[in-house]
């Protein structure tokens, strides 16, 4: 069996399990009490904080434990925005941030704040210039993930932090995906993390706020965690989180080399073994264990089920997955193909034989899904001289692109095909198909129903 979804949640590290079991007997009491059980719990909590702070690269009194990585993000953004309200209410985020950051930005905007989204290139990376241009006199906070959770692309955090620092603007870094591999570089102001991403237990997050950053905790507070994370600390889980972070860091350098080699096998193997596939994300500046690709003419949800039946657990940013009918905001911002999207994220210790078996299984799984979806005939095809109209209204991805591929050869070079579709994924997938197949994407036009996507045959 191959669990290849570590970017969603990594398997519990053996050290985390040992620490969790050991601290259940010692860390159950209230660490705020002065009797011996409380003192013992406080010693465990303080030791965990010291260990986590050393791994992050901060002072122990700058770090608090939260109930999740999402809570850390929400508390961090809200606290800095409130603390710097006199400066202004402008927030900067990248277009590919984790949903926790984007949801916080939406809330800020709904409450009257201003938000600027910085675009990314086709590899999923922001430019330092993009952040520099977004900075304003009333900018209270900028946010940038250390590495992308869907495609693995690493961001130029240190350079962006320098630009923000020069402008007097704090930078919050969502480091959930990268903390297992090392400290966040640069002069950042706030860092957040999530233990279950590095092999710790779920339900533990990190929030680090550098000394000197204006911060005002929002909502009801109590004396716990410096007033920044209300509620009784889950000391056994916190101890396990800190222990596992230290353990994975000790393995990180060697494991990074090994996992990079395995993901290179997947990148090269997918391109060689599966036709009509686009491997996405930066080929060099990316996390060691993540590789993402999209397959033309494939229903992403069906492909995931086929791979699951073959013993492989992967995830997808495809618009065809059951949780959404719109493409992943990350893939959309990158402008890459979303249909048939597969993210492989290898956990620490992944065996090379499991990767080889995955590459053996994948081509047949893709071919099987394509065979199932290749049969449909366009419901309505209307020809007007050198212009052909395909009616794909009411048909979800990847059917509109399949129908386009089937009829593009029916028009002469220079002729056009108009694909009528009411599926939001077509806005992303049809231009991506054109780039992959060497055809010209003319643009979209309003239609009586849905949208007409115009493609000109050039070869």
Point out the residues that are catalytic.
320
Q: Which two tokens stand for residue 23?
A: 């601290």
Neighbouring C-beta atoms of residue 427, cutoff 10 Å: 16
C-alpha–C-alpha distance, residues 260 and 277, integer Å? 20
Closest CA to 15 of 349, 425, 289: 349
Dihedral in degrees, nearest 10, Cα atoms 188, 206, 45, 243 = -100
CA gyration radius, the chain: 24
How many Cα atoms occupy the beta-carbon half-sphere of 188 within 13 Å?
A: 27
Question: Which segments within 241-350 are labelled E, that is strand?
Answer: 277-280, 290-295, 312-313, 341-345
C-alpha–C-alpha distance, residues 300 and 308, integer Å? 12
**Which residue bears the tokens 């601290």?**
23
Summary count for the chain: helices (H), strands (E): 12, 17
438 burial via Cβ count (<10 Å: 0-12, 13-18, 19+): exposed
C-alpha–C-alpha distance, residues 200 and 245, integer Å? 7
How many Cα atoms occupy the beta-carbon half-sphere of 332 within 13 Å?
A: 14
What proportions of the chain, in percent to the nearest 5, are helix, strand and coil?
40, 20, 40
**Which residue bears the tokens 């997947």?**
266
Q: Which two tokens stand for residue 447?
A: 């239609």
Q: Which two tokens stand for residue 219?
A: 């909502």
Q: What are phi and psi of 227, to 5 degrees?
A: 80, 10
Q: Quote the distance between the C-alpha of residue 266 and its chain's center.
A: 19
DSSP states of 136-173 as a string?
A: -TTEEEEE--SB-TTT-BBP-HHHHHHHHHHTT--EEE
Dihedral in degrees, nearest 10, Cα atoms 141, 147, 153, 159 = 50
C-alpha–C-alpha distance, residues 39 and 31, integer Å? 6
């Amino acid at each position: 069996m191959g669990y290849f979804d570590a970017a969603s949640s990594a398997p519990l590290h053996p050290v985390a399990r040992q620490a969790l079991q050991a601290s259940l007997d010692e860390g159950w009491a209230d660490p705020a009490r002065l009797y011996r059980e409380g003192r013992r719990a406080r010693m465990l909590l303080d030791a965990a904080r010291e260990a986590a702070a050393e791994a992050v690269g901060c002072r122990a009194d700058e770090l608090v434990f939260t109930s999740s990585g999402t809570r850390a993000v929400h508390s961090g953004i809200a606290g800095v925005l409130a603390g710097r309200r006199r400066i202004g209410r402008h927030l900067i985020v990248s277009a590919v941030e984790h949903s926790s950051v984007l949801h916080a930005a939406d809330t800020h905007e709904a409450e009257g704040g201003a938000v600027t989204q910085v675009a990314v290139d086709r590899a999923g990376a922001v430019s330092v210039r993009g952040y520099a241009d977004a900075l304003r006199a009333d900018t209270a906070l900028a946010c940038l993930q250390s590495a992308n959770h869907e495609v693995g692309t690493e961001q130029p955090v240190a350079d962006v932090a320098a630009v923000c620092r020069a402008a007097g603007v704090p930078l919050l870094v969502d480091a959930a995906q990268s903390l297992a591999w090392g400290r966040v570089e640069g002069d950042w102001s706030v860092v957040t993390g999530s233990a279950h991403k590095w092999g710790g237990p779920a339900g533990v997050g990190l929030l680090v706020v550098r000394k000197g950053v204006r911060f005002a905790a929002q909502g009801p507070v109590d004396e716990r965690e410096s007033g920044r994370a209300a509620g009784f600390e889950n000391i056994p889980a916190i101890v396990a989180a800190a222990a596992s972070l230290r353990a994975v860091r000790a393995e990180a350098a060697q494991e990074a080399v090994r996992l990079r080699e395995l993901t290179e096998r997947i990148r090269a193997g997918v391109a060689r073994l599966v036709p009509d596939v686009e491997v996405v994300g930066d080929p060099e500046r990316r996390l060691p264990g993540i590789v993402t690709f999209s397959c033309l003419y494939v229903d992403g949800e069906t492909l995931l089920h086929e791979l699951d039946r073959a013993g492989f657990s992967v995830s997808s940013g495809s618009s065809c997955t059951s949780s959404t009918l719109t493409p992943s905001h990350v893939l959309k911002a990158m402008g890459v193909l979303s249909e048939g999207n597969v993210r492989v994220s290898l956990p620490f210790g992944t065996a090379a034989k499991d990767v080889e078996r995955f590459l053996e299984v994948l081509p047949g799984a893709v071919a099987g899904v394509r065979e199932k979806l290749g049969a449909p005939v366009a419901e309505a095809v209307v020809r007007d001289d050198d212009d052909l109209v395909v009616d794909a209204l009411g048909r979800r991805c990847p059917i509109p692109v399949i129908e386009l591929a089937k009829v593009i050869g029916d028009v002469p070079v220079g002729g056009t095909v108009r694909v009528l579709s009411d599926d939001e994924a077509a806005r992303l997938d049809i231009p991506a198909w054109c780039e992959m197949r060497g055809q010209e994407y003319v643009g979209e036009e309003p239609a009586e129903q849905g949208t007409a996507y115009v493609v000109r045959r050039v070869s």
